[in-house]
Amino acid sequence: MEISTKYHGVIEAEPKDIVHFQNGIPGFLEEKSFILLKLDQDSPFYILQSTNTAELGFVIVNPFQFFTTYEFDLSDNDKAQLKLESEQDVAVYTILNVKDPFEDSTANLQAPVVLNTSNNEAKQIILNDPRYQTKQLLFAEKVVK
């Protein structure tokens, strides 16, 4: 199937690669079908691209690559909704707010995207944890030139 994307133009996608958000994403409740695309070949960043709306693509990243102490528990309800059977099937991403310069970009640690990699069911989880912010600096320690 052909999908028009925000950053990659028109691409071919397999139905098996579609990520399904049963309840949509907060703020985009009608958007339930997405695909994960690498931003660049050697980049840790991905685009969570709507399959229906070309202009809707979120830059996301595995938060554990940038925040080594990041942790949270999934509720039984979330596990059931995602049909999770094993921890090995869990992938976690955070949506970025990309800034210019890129070093000022932030990650939304209060609302991670959790993906069941065995069935491509996904959900954005809203955490009630004061340790995490919606705009946490991605690069907490800036390199001084």
For domain 2-137, the CATH superfamily is: BH3618-like (2.30.290.10)
Model pTM?
A: 0.92
Rounded to whole angstroms, what are the CA distances from 100 to 97, 105, 139?
10, 8, 13
pLDDT tens by residue, 129-142 = 999 999 999 987 55
pLDDT tens by residue, 40-68:
888 999 999 999 999 999 999 999 999 99
